[in-house]
Amino acid sequence: MAAATPAAVPPGDPEAAMAVAVHLAAENVRRRSGGPFGALVLDGAGTVVGAGVNVVQTTGSSLAHAEVKALLAAQARLGRPRLNDEPGGPFVLATSAQPCVMCFGTAFWAGLDALWIGARAADVETLTGFDEGPLPEDWPGALAARGISVTHDLLREQAREVLTAYAAAGGERY
Does residue 41 contact residue 48 with C-beta atoms inside 8 Å?
yes
Q: Does residue 173 belong to any structural domain of this protein?
A: no
Residue 8 lies in a domain: no
Residue 1: per-residue pLDDT = 44
Predicted local distance difference test score (pLDDT) of residue 21: 98
pLDDT at 2: 44
- 42's CB contacts (< 8 A; 6+ apart) are 8, 9, 11, 17, 48, 49, 91, 92, 94
Domain that holds residue 121: 14-168
In a domain, 70, yes or no: yes
**pLDDT given at position 16:** 98
Mean pLDDT, each 10-residue run in order, the chain (174 residues) = 77 96 98 97 97 97 98 98 93 98 95 98 97 94 97 99 98 90
174 within domain boundaries: no
pLDDT tens for residues 149-160?
Answer: 999 999 999 999
